[in-house]
């Protein structure tokens, strides 16, 4: 893996995380650690969608650890992860931050390659998020899809046939106060289901759509407006 630091248009530093292997294969293990020191502002993105290839059994792992210090801002906004049929991935995202820091997390997952009309007949995707603010665990979420993922997503209570999903978590001193304006902006999104909640000093937004193109058309202007600055250029290339 490599990090590139292109000149960005926003405030702070843009860091682009590049997987030089071209994707995640069976049994691969990746570990990423990002630290935003006091007063720093950094946005971490990826240059393209991350591909998780078919596995003959071993499970790939991606572990991300983010640390923020006083008055730091960290935006973790990689582009979408595409899971191939029979992909097997465990993803862990852990954050430690103080009360004064500002955190925005955005992750999107796509199940199956749309260009090939691919269905995930079998696979494993476990996505575990934990955020600690000060000494408290304020957010804990685990999604686990194991087996016939396409069939699971077709169920009304799971995905209602959607194949592209995204989650945004925002933690800051004013996070909960932004809920009403956020819901108003989500009401104008077309072709993509979205909903927001706020508690424990954080905002949570879920998106789902039948296709990744639809989801991207919805979330790109949303992220620009929400963050108050342009996305890293790699998002638009």
Range of weakest confidence among 1-10, 172-181, 203-212: 1-10
CB 46 within 8 A of CB 75: no
CA-to-CA separations, 126 to 117, 118, 141, 218, 230, in angstroms, rounded = 23, 20, 10, 25, 31
CB 49 within 8 A of CB 79: yes
> Residue 146 is encoded by which pair of tokens?
């194991």
Residues 6 or more apart from 159 whose CB is under 8 A from it? 152, 153, 165, 208
Mean pLDDT of the chain: 94
Q: What whole-number distance in Å separates Cα of residue 78 and Cα of residue 168?
A: 11
Q: What are phi and psi of 21, to 5 degrees?
A: -80, -15
pTM of the predicted model over 0.85? yes
- Model confidence at 8: pLDDT above 80: no
Range of weakest confidence among 8-22, 46-60, 200-214, 218-232: 8-22
Average pLDDT over residues 72-95: 97
Structure confidence at residue 10 (pLDDT): 73
- Model confidence at 57: pLDDT above 80: yes
Domain ranges for the chain: 2-236
Q: What 3-state class would DSSP assign to 27?
A: coil
Structure confidence at residue 7 (pLDDT): 84
Closest-CA residue to 121 (of 153, 89, 78)? 153
- Model confidence at 220: pLDDT above 80: yes
- Model confidence at 116: pLDDT above 90: no
Is the alpha carbon torsion for 164, 103, 131, 139 positive or negative? negative
- Model confidence at 237: pLDDT above 80: no
Closest-CA residue to 52 (of 123, 143, 154)? 123
Average pLDDT over residues 42-70: 96
Structure confidence at residue 144 (pLDDT): 96
Read off the pLDDT of residues 137-192 as tens digits, 9 standing for 90 and up: 999 999 999 999 999 999 998 888 899 999 999 999 999 999 999 999 998 888 89
Q: What whole-number distance in Å separates Cα of residue 152 and Cα of residue 74?
A: 34
pLDDT band at 63 (very low <50, low <70, confident <90, very high): very high
pLDDT band at 110 (very low <50, low <70, confident <90, very high): very high
């Amino acid at each position: 893996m490599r990090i590139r630091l292109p000149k960005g248009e926003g405030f702070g530093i843009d860091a682009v995380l590049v997987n030089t292997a071209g994707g995640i294969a069976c049994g691969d293990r990746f570990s990423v650690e990002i630290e935003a020191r006091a007063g720093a502002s950094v946005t971490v993105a990826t240059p393209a969608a991350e591909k998780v290839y078919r596995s003959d059994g071993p499970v790939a792992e991606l572990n991300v650890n983010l640390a923020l210090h006083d008055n730091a801002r960290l935006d973790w906004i990689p582009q979408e992860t595409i899971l191939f049929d029979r992909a097997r991935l465990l993803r862990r995202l852990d954050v430690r931050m103080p009360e004064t820091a500002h955190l925005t997390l955005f992750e999107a997952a796509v199940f199956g390659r749309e260009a090939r009309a691919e269905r995930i007949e079998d696979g494993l995707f476990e996505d575990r998020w934990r955020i600690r603010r000060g000494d408290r665990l304020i957010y804990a979420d685990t999604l686990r899809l194991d087996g016939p993922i396409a069939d699971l997503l077709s169920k009304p209570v799971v995905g209602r046939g959607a194949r592209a999903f995204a989650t945004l978590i925002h933690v800051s001193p004013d996070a909960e106060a932004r809920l009403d304006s956020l819901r108003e902006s989500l009401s104008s999104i077309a072709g993509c289901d979205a909903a927001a909640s706020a508690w424990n000093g954080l905002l949570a937004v879920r998106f789902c759509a039948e296709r990744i193109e639809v989801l991207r058309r919805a979330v790109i202007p949303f992220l620009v407006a929400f963050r108050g600055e342009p996305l890293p250029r790699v998002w638009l290339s």
